[in-house]
Structure 1
Amino acid sequence: MTVVNPQKRTRNFLELWNMSFGFFGIQYGWALQMANTSAIYEYLGANPEQIPLLWLAAPVSGLIAQPIIGYMSDHTWGPLGRRRPYFLVGAILSSLALILMPNASNLWIAAGLLWILDTSVNISMEPFRAFIADLLPKKQHTKGFAMQSFFIGSGAVIASLSPWILTHLFNLNNHSPAPNTIPLTVKVSFYIGAFVFFSTVLWTVLTTEEKPPKNLEALQKSVKNQSIGNKFLEIFSLIKAMPNTMKQLAIVQFFTWLGIFCLFLYFPPAVAHNIFGAVNENSTLYTEGIEWAGICIAVYNGVCFLFSWLLPKLTEITSKKITHSVCLLCGGVGIISLFWIENPYFILLPMVGFGMAWSSTLAIPYALLSPTIPEKNMGLYMGLFNAFIVIPQIFAALGLGWIMHNFLGSNRLLVVVLGGFSLMVAALLIHSVDEAESVNKTQQKLSLS
């Protein structure tokens, strides 16, 4: 037996803001991880071929944690409600990991801390997607996910800029660090991220109420009596019965996130080495390149949170699939164009295209999926859908190092460009996905036949 939210009503702007505000902190911490982890690995002595494997912890932890956390939150009810206990526990653990990671003394400790950090972030982040579907009527799902995109973009902007701000506005000493040490600005940025992560998630926990289900007593008795084996059997049976739209979107997500992960893995080091011309990781030129990459990341996330306000209107004018396809094409073309760029300032234009793709990726696939999912299993299916995001990341983590060494001459920029082509494939595949209206019509035909 699962929890079903008995009251769904149209929410005003402030309520939408409060229920999504925690995503600002989650993305703040996640953006720090995305923008700085590869550089941290290189500061600690990693070579380019090692970086994908060192990142393996992140997607593997997501693959394991997200469906399990989703299922658990479907079957949870306590003083803080259904999803909010996971928000809070994840925020506490993530904040501790953010404090520890930039103080890693060697490469393998940093990799282990990434595992802890990414698992903790998933504990908070996964139920947030189901939270929107729990509390909002279907007509507000796109607005709800777009609001999350707004906070994802704005949180990432500030997080990505923080090392540059600390260097140039607060004059923290950041240049020419000693060998195998992490710059002070990176450490301070992670400390700030820990505070922001915890405080914003706490805001959502305290300001957004979850109503108890009418069958609360029966639910608690059912959960208490259900064995672990039966729980896993239920998860397996629900996975087998996943909606067809979800299967179709899984293929789109594979190519989308393969492209995005190529950018996450190598964009900052590629800017430092390929465009700034840094020869080693302990040079001032390398640090300046990493800082500029942070500014570029801030630009695409800035585009993301501004563009997120336009997404609901664009989907009304065209459709969710057409909007998402165009956005992915803009992102793919932008990333591919990096191959011909030599002036760092010209990187900002492709970041606009990728920001549009990023905004759409964080909202539209979930808006396409949520109407096709049974409400009582929303957490599990959202967790499973997020797991489809990490499968291409595992593929990249296991294979990109070998591809770089054997075919790409250890050129970081070529991996990023390869990601652009993957986004373009996803832009074509999205047109094969059935929207909720098509799914409903098909089900009606089957029932009449």
Structure 2
Amino acid sequence: MRASTKPAQSFAGLWNTSFGFFGIQLAFALQNANVSRIFQSLGSSVDNLAFLWIAGPVTGLIVQPLIGHWSDRTWGRFGRRRPYFVAGALLAGLALLGLPNAGMLFAAAVFLWLLDASLNVAMEPFRAFVGDMTPPDQRAQGFALQTWFIGAGAVLGSLAPVIFNALGIPNTAPEGVVPPSVRYSFYLGAFAIIAAVAWTAFSVREYSPQELAAFGDEPAGAEANQPLVYPARGVLWIAGGAALLALVFALALDKQLYVLGGGLVAFGLVQATVRAFRSTGALAHIVSDLAQMPQQMKQLALVQFFTWIALFILWIYTTPVVTRTVFHATDTTGAAYNAGADWVGVMFAFYNGVAALAAFALPMLARRIGNALTHMVCLMAGAAAFLLLFVIRDQTLLLVPMALVGLAWASILGMPYVILTRVLPPHKFGIYIGVFNFFIVIPQLMVATVMGGVMRSFFPQAPEFTMLIGAGVMAFAALAMLRLHEGPAKA
């Protein structure tokens, strides 16, 4: 029997399907623009900032693929993806209330861990949700609208401290205290993520397993007859991690590298254990799917890896770079530093605003030159932005590289997922998008464990050199797109 065609969504349907991302990205923008500021306000030095971001990515390596695997298989009265992004939104709301009131670095790092993990629990099922609810030829439009909501939420999230300060709420505070304008912004974020996700959860009805099967999407459990693959490389990962740990110990390298080495050992142990016991649980499916990634996904994974190294450098180090080189401030309690930190919020809002506008232009460009070439051009614009951030010393001119970052960001949020959903089996959207997030999380982990040591060793008083590193890795990501060949769309 020939499968029926999944119906195209109306504009209202696409709107409701993606609206939750407005709140998720508002919260994500608050995190990106203000967490380094909070850590510095609580006494962290610049070269320790990256390490304090580390709990989130470590958790993400575990949470994201598991959530993807389980959401592919969840069918109940509340739907398939909805239970996960609602739970993630509620937990993120709690973290947003706690983070600016933590009072000390350790507590702030714990709340950042909860926030980062919760945002990923909410975000990744949303990516698969768009694939579930749209036919293949409408997914570019669906991801474009999602990108618009991401940009709009990020603009408000990035500008919130500036807006509250303009309303008379102070943006300075004594040492060890987060400014009131930042605290009020996080309260706004808690309300926004819960309300926006609730809107999507209550306004969209997910397709049932029977409906998806009629559309040609294989339902949960369709992979039951597919044999699991047990990779034999676990011992190699263990050996590589152990060698790194021994090298760090023998040469007295930066202790943060122990985290990276330990992660390699842990990944190898999971593979070796699954293979030894011929497991059939969630971890076995994740390891098997990782080994059987489509070729285009492997090519795109390399691009993502280097892209997100650059992005995490941007988010972690823009505040210390701008406050030091443009506002000439190092005292985190002073007016100059906080004015610079507020301006970083404006810069981030500006690039997200550009991304929101570019989101609707990129599908038109992609129809002319292809998704892969469109993404490459946008990533090269991002590389140019990092070079400009390295040399510009004028406050207003900093918006020029932010416009280029916005173009790259619009493509990063949409094009990889348009390409992926063309080649992935529909019944595995969740797990593969979760696995794809490895190549977002691992770069964050690398930046967190390596960049602090790089700064201390090579440019302890010049954080602007991190922007040169960002330019190099973003350019490499753009060139790696030349290897990618798009496949035919999956129905």
TM-score calculated relative to the size of structure 2: 0.84
The structure 1 residue matched to 2:190, chosen from 182, 194, 206, is 194
Q: After TM superposition, give the deviation of residue 234 of structure 1 in Å.
A: 2.3
The structure 2 residue matched to 1:399, chosen from 443, 450, 467, is 450
Q: Is the 8 A contact 1:6 1:211 kept in 2?
A: no
Alpha carbons of structure 1 residues 231 and 246: separation in structure 2 relative to 1, 3 Å: same
1:250 is aligned to 301
Q: After TM superposition, give the deviation of residue 229 of structure 1 in Å.
A: 4.8
Structure 2 CA distance for aligned equivalents of residues 59 and 414 of structure 1? 24
Deviations 1:75-99 (A, max 9, x none): 1011110001111111111101100
Q: Is the 8 A contact 1:48 1:410 kept in 2?
A: no
**In the alignment, structure 1 residue 140 sits paired with structure 2 residue 138:** yes
1:320 is aligned to 371
Structure 1 CA distance for aligned equivalents of residues 352 and 435 of structure 2? 25
Structure 2 CA distance for aligned equivalents of residues 342 and 58 of structure 1? 32
1:354 is aligned to 405
2:460 is paired with a residue whose SS is coil
Q: After TM superposition, give the deviation of residue 335 of structure 1 in Å.
A: 1.6
Equivalent residue letter for 1:422: V
Q: Is the 8 A contact 1:84 1:205 kept in 2?
A: yes
Structure 2 CA distance for aligned equivalents of residues 247 and 184 of structure 1? 45
**In the alignment, structure 1 residue 15 sits paired with structure 2 residue 66:** no
Q: After TM superposition, give the deviation of residue 146 of structure 1 in Å.
A: 1.1
Structure 2 CA distance for aligned equivalents of residues 219 and 420 of structure 1? 42
Alpha carbons of structure 1 residues 290 and 278: separation in structure 2 relative to 1, 3 Å: same
Deviations 1:280-323 (A, max 9, x none): 11110000000011001000000000000101101001111111
The structure 2 residue matched to 1:44, chosen from 42, 45, 52, is 42
**In the alignment, structure 1 residue 377 sits paired with structure 2 residue 428:** yes
Q: Is the 8 A contact 1:336 1:418 kept in 2?
A: no
**In the alignment, structure 1 residue 174 sits paired with structure 2 residue 171:** yes
Q: Is the 8 A contact 2:72 2:220 kept in 1?
A: no
Q: Which aligned pairs between 1:2-401 and structure 2 lie closer than 5 A?
A: 8-168=6-166, 170-175=167-172, 177-214=173-210, 229-401=280-452
Q: Is the 8 A contact 1:7 1:211 kept in 2?
A: no
Structure 1 CA distance for aligned equivalents of residues 412 and 211 of structure 2? 36
- Which moved further from structure 2: 269-278 or 347-356? 269-278
Structure 2 CA distance for aligned equivalents of residues 342 and 388 of structure 1? 33
Structure 1 CA distance for aligned equivalents of residues 391 and 143 of structure 2? 35
Q: After TM superposition, give the deviation of residue 6 of structure 1 in Å.
A: 8.5
Structure 2 CA distance for aligned equivalents of residues 249 and 215 of structure 1? 31
Q: Is the 8 A contact 1:6 1:213 kept in 2?
A: no
Q: Is the 8 A contact 1:174 1:185 kept in 2?
A: yes
| Structure 2 runs not aligned, ≥5 long | 213-218, 225-277
Structure 2 CA distance for aligned equivalents of residues 71 and 23 of structure 1? 21
Alpha carbons of structure 1 residues 6 and 24: separation in structure 2 relative to 1, 3 Å: farther
Deviations 1:126-183 (A, max 9, x none): 1011011111111111111111111111100011001001111x111223x1011100
Structure 1 CA distance for aligned equivalents of residues 316 and 395 of structure 2? 19
Calculate the aligned-residue CA RMSD, in Å.
2.1
Alpha carbons of structure 1 residues 376 and 219: separation in structure 2 relative to 1, 3 Å: closer
Q: Is the 8 A contact 1:7 1:135 kept in 2?
A: no
Q: After TM superposition, give the deviation of residue 436 of structure 1 in Å.
A: 1.3
Alpha carbons of structure 1 residues 120 and 87: separation in structure 2 relative to 1, 3 Å: same
Q: Is the 8 A contact 1:95 1:198 kept in 2?
A: yes
Equivalent residue letter for 2:178: I
Structure 1 CA distance for aligned equivalents of residues 211 and 334 of structure 2? 63
Q: After TM superposition, give the deviation of residue 228 of structure 1 in Å.
A: 8.3
**In the alignment, structure 1 residue 422 sits paired with structure 2 residue 473:** yes
1:118 is paired with a residue whose SS is helix
Alpha carbons of structure 1 residues 419 and 214: separation in structure 2 relative to 1, 3 Å: same
Q: Is the 8 A contact 2:124 2:434 kept in 1?
A: yes
Q: After TM superposition, give the deviation of residue 342 of structure 1 in Å.
A: 1.4
Structure 1 CA distance for aligned equivalents of residues 61 and 287 of structure 2? 15
| Matched positions, count | 429
Q: Is the 8 A contact 1:101 1:113 kept in 2?
A: yes
Structure 2 CA distance for aligned equivalents of residues 255 and 24 of structure 1? 26
Q: After TM superposition, give the deviation of residue 336 of structure 1 in Å.
A: 0.9
Structure 1 CA distance for aligned equivalents of residues 485 and 370 of structure 2? 12
Q: After TM superposition, give the deviation of residue 409 of structure 1 in Å.
A: 2.4
Alpha carbons of structure 1 residues 215 and 8: separation in structure 2 relative to 1, 3 Å: closer
Equivalent residue letter for 2:299: Q
2:431 is paired with a residue whose SS is helix
| Structure 1 runs not aligned, ≥5 long | 441-449
Q: After TM superposition, give the deviation of residue 237 of structure 1 in Å.
A: 1.7
Deviations 1:367-419 (A, max 9, x none): 11111111111100011111211111111111000000101224222113321
TM-score calculated relative to the size of structure 1: 0.92
Q: Is the 8 A contact 1:49 1:410 kept in 2?
A: no
Identical residues among aligned pairs (%): 42
Deviations 1:335-357 (A, max 9, x none): 21122211100100111001000
Q: Is the 8 A contact 1:97 1:113 kept in 2?
A: yes
Deviations 1:15-66 (A, max 9, x none): 1111000000000001100100111110000111111111111211221111
1:447 is aligned to none
Structure 2 CA distance for aligned equivalents of residues 82 and 228 of structure 1? 25
